[in-house]
Structure 1
Amino acid sequence: MEDNETVNDELKTDSSRRCILTGGKDSRDYLIRLALAPDGSVHPDVRARAPGRGAWISVDHTALSRAITKGKLKAALQRAFKTSDITISSDLPVRIANELQQQVLNQLGIEARAGRLLSGSERIIDSCRNGRVALLLHASDAGSDGSGKLDFAFRVGKNRNAERQEVTSEKGLTLPVDRMVLSLALGRGNVVHIALTAPVTADRIKKSLMRWCRFIGWNGDTDICIDDNADTMAIAGNNVKGSD
Structure 2
Amino acid sequence: MTRGGGSKTREEPERRCLVTRETGPKAGLIRFVVGPDETVVADLAGKLPGRGLWVTAEAEALGRAVQRGLFSRAANRPVKAPPGLVADVEAMLAGRVVDLIALARKAGEAISGLEKVKAALVSGQAALLIQASDGSARGRSELRPPEGAESLVSWLSGHELGLAFGRDSVIHAAVLKGGLSERIRIEASRLAGFRATGAGAGAAGTDSEVGATAD
TM-score, structure 2 as length reference:
0.79
Task: State the aligned residue count.
Answer: 194
Which residue among 200, 207, 211 is the counterpart of 1:226? 200
Contact 2:97–2:187 under 8 Å retained in 1: yes
Contact 2:15–2:24 under 8 Å retained in 1: yes
Contact 2:56–2:62 under 8 Å retained in 1: no
Query: Is 2:116 the partner of 1:137?
Result: no
Call closer, same or farther: CA 1:101–1:128 in 2, change over 3 Å.
same
Q: Which amino acid aligns with 1:39?
A: D
Call closer, same or farther: CA 1:190–1:95 in 2, change over 3 Å.
closer
Provide the residue aligned with 1:36 in structure 2: 34
Greater helix content: 1
For structure 2, the 5+ residue unaligned runs are 1-10, 205-215
Provide the residue aligned with 1:58 in structure 2: 56
CA distance in 1, matches of 2:54, 2:150: 31
Query: Is 2:173 the partner of 1:194?
Result: yes
**Could you tell me how far 1:132 is from its partner in structure 2?**
0.9
Contact 2:129–2:152 under 8 Å retained in 1: yes
TM-score, structure 1 as length reference:
0.71
Greater Rg over alpha carbons, structure: 1
Over 3 Å off, 4+ runs = 225-230
CA distance in 2, matches of 1:19, 1:171: 22
Provide the residue aligned with 2:24 in structure 1: 26
**Could you tell me how far 1:14 is from its partner in structure 2?**
5.0
Provide the residue aligned with 1:182 in structure 2: 161
**Could you tell me how far 1:15 is from its partner in structure 2?**
1.5
**Could you tell me how far 1:227 is from its partner in structure 2?**
8.5
Contact 1:68–1:74 under 8 Å retained in 2: no
CA distance in 2, matches of 1:200, 1:102: 19
Provide the residue aligned with 1:118 in structure 2: 111
For structure 1, the 5+ residue unaligned runs are 1-12, 79-83, 159-167, 231-244
CA distance in 2, matches of 1:45, 1:139: 27
